[in-house]
Amino acid sequence: MQYRWLFLIFSLAAVTATPFVLSHFRNSIADPAFFNSTRVTILSWKPRVFLYKNFLSEEECDHLIKLAKSKLEESTVIDPDSGNNVKSEVRTSSGMFLDKRQDHIVASIERRISGWTFLPQENGENIQFLQYEATQKYEPHFDYFYDEKDQLRGGHRYATVIMYLSDVKEGGETVFPKAEGWKSQPKDETFSDCAKKGLAVKPVKGDAVLFYNLKPDAVPDPLSLHASCPVIQGKKWVATKWIRLGSFDSIPSPPSAVETAADIYPESITEDENSETVASVDESVEEQEL
């Protein structure tokens, strides 16, 4: 009899305490997906640009570069004449995509991006790597699309998150030449001449910049024009996550059956009056195996 009571009291205590014990453990384990708002600053509202200091740890940056390098090796082929490894013409460093949730580190970075942007993971494309060496740059361009075909899988690229994986000695800034009030951004001599022509973000290892290519009403924002300034000294490694308006994970069935972005947001695909300023339209989606 006594034991039965003891057992009952013990069970009750255990059931009551379990949630508290669990929440204690949850709080004490640093969640790598945690979004720390104190590290975010607003750089511009027109377009919307935000900087997150130390978004990635040193280790995460190095891990991503390691993954990128191993992808790069995959893309080298044996030259039949010399027997040497040569870089394949088909796959260059600019088209390297990771798998989604490729490993637990990638998965936690993807969760953190989602926590920061408040946009679901399924809207995100696979993380892409870009490597810039001295003199390499990316001319001013928009991340939103011109072609309806590019929008079949999830619609427009709503937001872009660029994660800087390496420090660059000189140059390589991300610059927004049309950002409102960019002239008042204080810049010392450590900025390149290119960076002095707009709102500039220096590539700092671990930092991430988030900007929106569409306005809140999903209409393309011409002020989101951006460029990667030429690298003057050093190497620049970035990982980019583009986030669509809709799900990128659900592969559309025949186009006729699909409700395209044009149906939902008719204004959003009207050609923008600034489109002639586009030097290079991003074609990376086509490089990806759909």
Site of interaction with ligand NAG (CB under 6 A): 36, 38-39
Q: CA-to-CA distance for 143 and 210, rounded, in angstroms?
A: 12
- Closer to ligand NAG by Cβ: residue 24 or 149: 24
Instruction: Please check whether residue 218 is in contact with residue 245, taking contact to mean a CB–CB distance below 8 angstroms.
Output: yes
- Closer to ligand NAG by Cβ: residue 52 or 144: 52
Q: How far is CA 41 from CA 38, 120, 205, 209, in A?
A: 8, 22, 17, 10
Length of the chain: 290
Token code pair at residue 136: 């390499």
Instruction: Tell me the closest approach of the beta carbon of residue 116 to ligand NAG, in angstroms.
Output: 13
- Closer to ligand NAG by Cβ: residue 27 or 184: 27
DSSP letter for each residue of 87-124: E-SSS-GGGEEPPTT-SHHHHHHHHHHHHHHT--GGGB
Instruction: Tell me the closest approach of the beta carbon of residue 52 to ligand NAG, in angstroms.
Output: 10
Instruction: Please check whether residue 44 is in contact with residue 179, taking contact to mean a CB–CB distance below 8 angstroms.
Output: yes
- Closer to ligand NAG by Cβ: residue 36 or 76: 36
Give the largest CA-CA distance in the chain: 88
CA 160 and chain centroid, separation? 5
Instruction: Tell me the closest approach of the beta carbon of residue 209 to ligand NAG, in angstroms.
Output: 17
Instruction: Tell me the closest approach of the beta carbon of residue 121 to ligand NAG, in angstroms.
Output: 22
Instruction: Tell me the closest approach of the beta carbon of residue 22 to ligand NAG, in angstroms.
Output: 19
Which residue type sits at 82? Answer: S
- Closer to ligand NAG by Cβ: residue 35 or 146: 35
Instruction: Tell me the closest approach of the beta carbon of residue 38 to ligand NAG, in angstroms.
Output: 5
Residue number, nearest CB to ligand NAG: 36
Instruction: Tell me the closest approach of the beta carbon of residue 39 to ligand NAG, in angstroms.
Output: 5
Q: How many beta carbons lie within 10 A of that of residue 6, not counting itself?
A: 10
- Closer to ligand NAG by Cβ: residue 31 or 286: 31
Instruction: Please check whether residue 246 is in contact with residue 259, taking contact to mean a CB–CB distance below 8 angstroms.
Output: no
Q: CA-to-CA distance for 30 and 274, rounded, in angstroms?
A: 45
- Closer to ligand NAG by Cβ: residue 3 or 25: 25
